[in-house]
Amino acid sequence: MSKTQKTFMAGAMILAVAGVLSKVLGAIFRIPLTNFIGAEGMGYYQAAYPVYTLILIVSQAGFPVAISRLVSERVVVGDYYGAHRVYRVSLTVMAIVGTFFTLLLWFLAEPLTRYLEDLNGAVHAMRAIAPAIFFVTIMSAQLGYFQGLRNMRPSAVIQVVEQLFRVGIGLLLAYLLLSKGKDYAAAGATFGATAGGIAGFLVVMLIYIAFRRTRGFDARLEASHIRFQDQQQSVKTILSRLFAITIPITIGASIMPIMYNLDLVIVANRLSAAGWNPEDVRSMYGQLTAMAGSVVNLPFVLTEAMAISIVPTVVAAWKMRDTRFLHRNVTLSIQVTSIIAMPCMIGMMALAKPIMLLLYPTQKEDAIAAAPSFFILAIGILFLGLNTSLTAVLQGVGRQGVPVRNMFIGALFKALFTFVLTGIPALNIRGAAAGTVIAYLIAAVLNTLAVKKYTRARIEWSKSILRPFISALVMGGLAYLSHKLLLGILGNSLSTLVGVALGGICYVVMLFVTKAVTEEELAGFPKGKTLVKMYRKVLTRNSKGARM
């Protein structure tokens, strides 16, 4: 495995670890928060968050990828001055964009919530989270620069710092404001994102200052400036290229959040038409988005980490016309995504109800009601993961408009199926969950076809999908059976944890048994030599068992 491939995997692992820690902190945040304010309070919280997410995506979603790609293009040829110039121009643009969208959310909060008859108390939560947009948008330019340099550590550090402050400040304010009402408590919780944004911005500035003071930095900039003096792009050209990459990515990233915001209207109206009262509607929406949705989104952090890491690698391979290296990374991204997503999908399906009860012990009725939606959403984990990885590949080869079209097609199907299925009384909120899975499935199929078309990569489906799936099935069966056997002895919480632990060990062993990974691939991971030794031991024992 080449040095570049090892860099890609190492960067992905760094971001993955930080992402998992960040999500664990997020779960720590949501679980006590849900227990504090219940499904109704989480309804206010979740009514504000999709609007914030949508505006945040519009304001900065495409910029880190665009900056990373433009910086990577200059670094590949040794033009570090040009790479730093891209960063400076981008930072100015992001400061302006962040200010505009922060003010936009603040002043539109009240008009937006007027349309949410049962959730209009979310106005406080929207305004509390608005300042976060400014700080997160500026950070995106700084992190995009480091990602283009294939340095994923700043992104990892900022994820954790943001979450620590979000969790600490958010929970504290939610608790203190609970006496004023659940709408104010939800606003306190959303202000945690603003506190996290401020903390993250300050830390990334310190990281950048330290980076500028590293030995040889100024000399390297000056040398590349002299060498590439005649090739420097104008500010107009940088802006033109920046927005040419950013706009399609932003549109594509906005599609699903737009659909989630439409869910607020579609789901509420369809459930009301089916005979559910406003309180039930708020609880159901909270069960779907806050309880089930937040847990299902955990694996997305791992696949997103890989996608962020692979963009500069694909850009380098594409720019150098190294077809073999490009194909290897396309295959590797799909394989790693499947290895990550499969156990999460099967495991959450196998233990849907126990997991919900484990996480929300003081909201047992809501947890049991959320379990069917959780089961359905878990099916979409693989498709969402594949979409993330395939989109990154397409962005790396300059086809950022293709995933936009494919996600738009998926979103249309989501709207249709959500409208039809949610209106069926027997399905109710589960219809919205099914619509989401269908959207991801359609987009994943279309993106797979697009990657094969534009990169001409041959995907080994047996190794990339089938073997991890078989491994995950065995794991899921063991986790389910162990939970059932231990439930009467240990209770739900301990039996669920034991089932997850046994399933995890089983899955790792099964990956080796089914040969879902090779020695060369394991060697590319951090601590690769140790993993290779484990791999050989398992294969040796397996072959001895087969001969007996």
Concatenating the DSSP letter of every residue in 112-141 gives HHTT-TT-GGGHHHHHHHTTHHHHHHHHHH
Residue 15 has pLDDT above 60, yes or no: yes
- For the chain, helix, strand, coil in percent to 5 are 90, 0, 10
Predicted local distance difference test score (pLDDT) of residue 526: 54
The answer to whether residue 343 is domain-embedded is yes
Residue 546 has pLDDT above 70, yes or no: no
pLDDT tens for 199-245 read: 999 999 999 888 888 867 777 777 877 777 767 778 888 888 888 88
Q: How far apart are CA 285 and CA 287, in angstroms?
A: 5
Structure token pair of residue 414: 């989501």
Confidence of residue 443 (pLDDT cuts 50, 70, 90): very high
Kindly calculate the radius of gyration of the chain based on its CA atoms and give it in whole angstroms.
Answer: 24
Task: State how far the alpha carbon of 83 is from the alpha carbons of 71, 144, 313, in Å.
Answer: 5, 11, 16
- What's the mean pLDDT in 9-15? 65
Confidence of residue 548 (pLDDT cuts 50, 70, 90): very low
Confidence of residue 481 (pLDDT cuts 50, 70, 90): very high
Q: Is the dihedral of CA 21, 22, 25, 27 positive or negative?
A: negative
The answer to whether residue 417 is domain-embedded is yes
Q: How wide is the angle at C-alpha 229 spanned by C-alphas 228 and 234, nearest 5°?
A: 105
Give 407-475 as a DSSP string.
HHHHHHHHHHHHHHHHTSTTTTTHHHHHHHHHHHHHHHHHHHHHHHHHH-PPP-HIIIIIHHHHHHHHH
Predicted local distance difference test score (pLDDT) of residue 382: 92
Q: Are 430 and 372 in contact (CB under 8 A)?
A: yes
Q: How far apart are CA 261 and CA 546, in angstroms?
A: 55
Predicted local distance difference test score (pLDDT) of residue 459: 79
Predicted local distance difference test score (pLDDT) of residue 2: 46
**Entry pTM:** 0.72
- What's the mean pLDDT in 345-361? 90
Look up the domain containing 144 and give its range: 3-459
Residue 388 has pLDDT above 50, yes or no: yes
Predicted local distance difference test score (pLDDT) of residue 18: 67
The answer to whether residue 492 is domain-embedded is no
The answer to whether residue 78 is domain-embedded is yes
pLDDT tens for 450-469 read: 988 888 888 788 888 899 99
Cβ-based burial of 246 (10 A; exposed 0-12, middle 13-18, buried ≥19): buried
Residue 98 has pLDDT above 70, yes or no: yes
Instruction: Map residue 515 onto helix, strand or coil.
Output: coil
Confidence of residue 432 (pLDDT cuts 50, 70, 90): confident
Residue 196 has pLDDT above 80, yes or no: yes
The answer to whether residue 326 is domain-embedded is yes
Confidence of residue 519 (pLDDT cuts 50, 70, 90): low
Q: Are 44 and 186 in contact (CB under 8 A)?
A: yes
Q: How many residues would you count in the chain?
A: 548
In 3D space, the residue among 361, 360, 145 whose CA is nearest the CA of residue 238 turns out to be 145
The answer to whether residue 500 is domain-embedded is no
Predicted local distance difference test score (pLDDT) of residue 119: 59
Q: Domain total for the chain?
A: 1
- What's the mean pLDDT in 366-385? 89
The answer to whether residue 257 is domain-embedded is yes
Predicted local distance difference test score (pLDDT) of residue 25: 76
The answer to whether residue 332 is domain-embedded is yes
pLDDT tens for 146-161 read: 888 878 888 888 888 9
Q: What is the mean pLDDT of the chain?
A: 81
- What's the mean pLDDT in 275-304? 77
Indicate the helix (H) or strand (E) that contains 166. Answer: helix 153-177
